[in-house]
Each structure stands twice: as structure tokens, then as C-alpha cells.
Structure 1
Amino acid sequence: MIHSDEKVRQMARSLLPSKNREASRAARARIHRAARQEVRQELAQWLRSGDVEADVPPCAPWEDAKIHQQVYWRQSGDKVNPFIRWATARTRHLPREDRRGHARGLLPRGVIGDHALGHLVWTDAFRDPLQDRWRQRQLLRQKQQRKGALLDRGEQARLLRALLLEPEGHRTFNRFLRERYTGTRTLNGQAAANRKLEALPAHRPLLGVHDVNPFLDSLQPNAWGSRFHTWGTLTPPLHWVRLFLQRFKAHRGHIPSVRAALEAEGLLSRAPSAARARKPPGR
């Protein structure tokens, strides 16, 4: 029977033989191969353009996210139950908030110990009650913020009608939609990853009070019947409308404050002042 430090090292190393290691290696090679192919194509197209002033295209920006997904999937196949039972038995006599630190002292230093500890922190025997309560409060706060940020159709229609009554409200709203559409099309044309997404819906301005309900009807789901462009991201027109109305609601309908906030966030360009736009008399 193995005891003492050698037993600790054996239990920590028992996590390393993952059940998904062969498939994970193949998936990693496939991701790197696809990324290299895309980078070669983008660089060749950039060199053929002959424009030395143009920015270098992004080199497979999705590669890191895909590799991280594969790492998590590989770690999910680790054989962790014997190690968790052993660590729980070794720390059963300690208070719950002290178990994690004691386990860290038992495990060897380096990658092996860090990997083994990462599987312990989410188990019931090693979870800190204070951190759990703090995490629950954070999730509740985020849920409340999301609930306040998501406007239903009735509130959207009410805010749009109030917006049309404000001086420069109609003009500012349509200019915001127009600039968001132009800017998004430009970014999608420059980023290779975005070119593979579905086509951006056509820009549609708000025509007036009579057009509030038809305008909201035009914010249709995408071709698959979903209101999400990608996972967790609303379709662009609906996202832009909600973004503007959220600022309009937060600033209590004061259009100069809404315009200043959007300009500070880089979502709206600074329009020339009326004095500059108007021609001097006699010219």
C-alpha cells in the first residue's frame, strides 16, 4: 500500500489519463490546420491587393476560442471521482472554508497540482459558503440588470412615440441607425470571420408616429426564426433599437444627453454644429 507523499502524487497524477485525449488531439490538429489555411488565404488576398497602407487582416481570431473549448472538453473526460473521494476523506475533519487551502498544501507544486486543485474547487465538500453567497448575489444582480435592459414591445412603442415628440429626437434616432448600419457593414467586410455570417438586414428608418408599429414589425427574426444573430447576440436592427431606447430611458428623454452619451461611447459621430453648417449671410 502506498502512503504519504507518494500517495499524494499518485492521486494527483491519476487525473491526467483523460478519456478524450485521442479525440482531443485530433480536434486540436484540425483546428490548427483550418486556422493556417485561413491565414494563408487572407494574407495572399491582402498581398494581391497591393495596398500597403491597408491593415493586415485578422489571422484566424476564432482559433483561441476553439482551442479553449477543446481544453475544457478534454478536461471533462478526466477520471476525477477517486481523487475527489480521497481529498474529501483527507480534509473531512477541517472546516469547509479551510479545506481548499489544506488540499493545496498536500498537492505537489506545478501543473499537476494546479490541475488537480481545479477539479476540487467546484465540488460540494470544498465550496466556500461565503463565496457561494457572493456568487449568488452577483448572479441575481446580473439577472435584474438584464431584466431591466430587455424592453418588451409595449415599452418600445411607448418610448418611440415619446422620442418623436422630443426636438431632434427623430433625426438623432435615424442618424444613429444609419451610422450603426454603415459601421457594421464596414467591419463585416474587413473581418474575415464576419464574412461567413448571414447577410446584414437592410437599414430601415423610422418614418413617423404612424410608422411605430410597422417599424417594430420590421425587426424580424433571422432566417432560422430566431431573434439572435449568434449565441446571446440579438439581430443587429433589434439590438440597435434597444440600445438607443435604453439610453433614451436612462436619460429621461433628454436628447442632448442621449446624444452625448452615445458620442462618448463611440456609437454616434459628432455632428457639426448648426453655426458651422449654416452659410454666413451674403455668401
Structure 2
Amino acid sequence: MRYGDDKSFEMARSLLPSTHRQAARKSRASLHRRSRRSSRTRVAQLIRDPEFAEDCAELDEDTSSEMRGLVWERQASDKVNPFIRWAEQRTLDQPRDLRLGLMRKALPDGLVGRHALSHLKQEKHFLSTAELSAQESWRLCTRKKSLPTERGLMAQLLRELLRLPTGQKALNSYLKRASATGWSRQWGHDGHRHVVLHGSHAPRLLLGVHDVLPFLDDLGFESRLVSYWSHPPRPEAPTRPLALKFLRTFHRLKGDLTATLAALPVPVLTNQPR
């Protein structure tokens, strides 16, 4: 039976080597090959068609998230349960805010100690009072991830919307109704009275497929290829939040236009004329 520093080193060393290390190496090599192949394909497309950058939502992608997943899978294969039980038993009677610091002093210096300590930082037993409170608050306030406001992705959503028979009309009608502050009835050229919406500003409407990129420019989602100094960004259109809300909902509901319109209630105008 070992005690003291020898016991601490033995427990920390028991985490290594990972039982998933060989598979992790193969997965890492495969991930890098896929990334290089995708990069070469996109560069070749850009050389043939420079305007491809306007609509390519994957142009800025990298392997950071996938690499974090591979690291997590490898670390998840470490034999951590005996070590965690030993560390928790050793600090069971200690104040919460001192537990991690005591284990940091007990573990050996170097890579072995830092690796073992990284596993303890993920355990609730070793979270400080402030970290535990922040974690609970985060859980209560967690919301679904919103749609990234990338120009290429939004252009794809708009083109997908325009392929629907009433897609353009639905978007423009929503922008008109949501930005209106009042309405009235006026005589039209056909001899009938029609409802005319009024607002503090005229909404920026989508005019068609040819207007997708100018529409995004006016909303404030200009191309990243444009230099700030040679072409300063234009002011955002007042309808930007409305258009962004519509596209987020359209994306979340997987292109279901009927469900999108049902999920976007428009405030009822209170100043309707008799």
C-alpha cells in the first residue's frame, strides 16, 4: 500500500495511457485529410467562379469543433472513476472552494498532474461556489441556439424561400404587417377601396432572385470580401430584425412556410379606422 506523494503519483498515472489512443490517431488523420480535400475543392471553385464566395456558407469552416470532439472522445476513454473516487474521498471534509487547490498541490507537477487535474475540473464535487452558481444559472437560462447570421447561409435560405410558390409574397407581407403602425382604406385604380398599411419607414422588400444579395446588403450583411476602407458599411435597414426573425423561424422549422407564418404572430393594430 502506498501513501503520500507516491500514492498521488500512482493515482494520477493510472489515467494514462488512454484506451482509445490508437483509434483517436486514425480519426485525427482522417479528419485532416477530409479538411484538406474540402479546402482544395473550395479553392478550385473560387478560381473558376469568384462569385461563389458570396453564397458559400461553408467557406469559413474549420476543424476546430470536430477536433474538440475527437479530444473529448479520447479523454472519455480514460480510466477516471477510481481516480475521481479517490480524490473526492480525500477532499470530502474540505470546504468546496479549497478542494481543487488542495488536489493541485497533491498531484505531481508536469503533464501527468495537469492531465489528472483536468478531469477533476469537470466534476461537480470540485466546482467552486461561484462556478456552481453560474452553472445553475446557465442551465435555467439556456436557450436554443439562434441561426448564425452568415451571409451565405441567409442567401441560401432566401433562395429556398423563393422556390416556394408563395414564398416571396409571404416574406414581403410579413415585413409590411410587422413594421406597420397604422392602416387606412384608399381607392385604387381598379375602382375599389384597398387596405394600405402605414409606418414610420418603408420596409425593404425582397424583389426576386436577382435581389437576394442587394437585399442582404441593405439589411447589413455585406460581403466579407469588401474592404471597410474602400467601401464603408451602409446603415442597416429598419426591417433587419424582422427579416432575421422570419429567416430564423423558417430555418428552425426546416422550410415549412405554413408553420413559419403560424409561429410569427403580428401585433394587432389598435388605430383601425371605422
The TM-score normalised by the length of structure 1 is 0.51
Deviation at 1:92, TM superposition (A): 2.2
Give per-residue Cα distances to partners, 1:162-208, cap 9 Å, x unaligned: 523343544336589862289999969x9xxxxxxxxxxxxxxx9xx
Task: Provide the rounded CA distance (Å) in 2 between the counterparts of 1:132 and 1:65.
Answer: 25
Give the 3-state SS of the residue equivalent to 1:92 in structure 2: coil
* Cα distance in 2 between the residues matched to 1:130 and 1:93: 19
Of 178, 188, 199, the residue aligned with 1:167 is 199
Kept in 1: contact 2:176–2:203 (CA 8 A): no
Contact 1:121 1:127 in 2 (8 A): yes
Which secondary structure does the structure 2 equivalent of 1:171 belong to? coil
Quick one: which amino acid aligns to residue 91 of structure 2?
Answer: T
| CA deviation vs aligned residue, 1:213-242 (integer Å, no higher than 9, x gap) | xxx8x99867xxx6258xxxx99xx7xx98
1:104 aligned to 2:104? yes
* AA at the equivalent of 2:99: R
Give the match for residue 32 of structure 1.
32
CA contact (8 A) 2:175 2:203 kept: no
Equivalent residue for 1:126?
126
CA contact (8 A) 1:35 1:60 kept: no
Q: CA deviation at 1:88?
A: 1.5
Structure 2 residue identity aligned to 1:179: F
TM-score (norm. length: structure 2):
0.53
2:270 corresponds to which residue?
Answer: none
Structure 1 contact 38–59 (Cα < 8 Å) conserved: no
Q: 1:26 to 1:161 in 2, by over 3 A?
A: same
Match of 2:149 in 1: none
CA contact (8 A) 2:120 2:126 kept: yes
Structure 1 position 179 matched with structure 2 position 195: no
Distance of aligned partners of 1:21 and 1:219 in 2 relative to their CA distance in 1, 3 Å threshold: closer
CA shift, 1:30, in A, is 0.5
- 1:33-59 deviations in whole A, cap 9, x for unaligned? 11122233344455567x8xx9xx998
User: Higher helix fraction: Structure 1 or Structure 2?
Assistant: 1
What secondary structure sits across from 2:203 in the alignment? helix
1:78 and 2:78 are equivalent in the alignment = yes
> Which residue does 2:232 correspond to in 1?
none
- CA gap of 1:143–1:219, structure 2 versus 1, over 3 A, is closer
What stretches of structure 2 of length at least 5 have no aligned partner? Answer: 147-172, 183-197, 226-238, 240-245, 268-274
Q: Kindly tell me: are residues 227 and 182 of structure 1, through their superposed partners in 2, closer, same or farther at Cα, counting changes over 3 Å?
A: farther
